[in-house]
Amino acid sequence: NSSMKVFTLQIPFTYPAVYQQTVDGITVYSLHLTFGLLVLDELVPFSHTAYLEALVEDLVPPSVSGGCDNTNFYILVKYGTKGYSFQTMVGPSFLTPTLAQ
């Protein structure tokens, strides 16, 4: 249809008019919009409202940190938001409670 017009509007999540709320590891970004348009030839004003919402899962990757002294290694594993979905290796062996002792 030759009378149809399409446009794209990009608004960053950090824009002040974007409302942000985090619940249970999900961040909800929402925005209320009012488009003000003008119908040409007759110059008739026209408006259209819209509500946009984006749900984004907050992901925290796993991390491993640690140190040692003269006799021991100290390892701290933080599993992140996906839980225990990986295995830690020390050299060629999987880190188990027995190996950790």
Provide the percentage of residues in the chain whose pLDDT is more than 90: 39
**Phi and psi dihedrals of 99, rounded to 5?**
-65, -35
**Phi and psi dihedrals of 2, rounded to 5?**
-75, -15
Checking if the pLDDT of 33 tops 90, the result is yes
What is the predicted pLDDT for the residue at 18? 97
Predicted TM-score (pTM) of this structure: 0.55
Residue 29 identity: Y
What is the predicted pLDDT for the residue at 1? 58
pLDDT digits (tens, 9 = 90+) for 64-89: 898 999 988 888 888 887 777 777 78
Do 91 and 82 form a contact (C-beta atoms < 8 A)? no
